[in-house]
Amino acid sequence: MATDQLLMGLGLNSMLAARLCDTSGSITVAAAGSSTATSYQVKGTQFTVFVGSGSGWVALPTVGGSDNAAQIGDQFVIGNGLSSSLTVGIASGVTVNISGSAITSQFTITTLKTFTGFPISTTQWIGSTS
Could you tell me the residue ranges of all domains in the chain? 24-129
Convert the pLDDT of each residue in 32-55 to its tens digit.
999 999 999 998 888 889 999 999
What is the C-alpha to C-alpha distance for residues 12 and 108, in angstroms, rounded to an integer?
A: 37
Cite the beta strand spans of the chain per DSSP E: 28-31, 40-41, 48-54, 57-59, 76-80, 86-89, 95-98, 101-103, 106-109, 114-121, 124-129
**The pLDDT value given to residue 101:** 95
pLDDT at 110 over 80: yes
Of the given ranges (12-16, 42-46, 110-114), which has the lowest mean pLDDT? 12-16
Share of the chain above pLDDT 90, in %: 66
Span 65-83, average pLDDT? 89
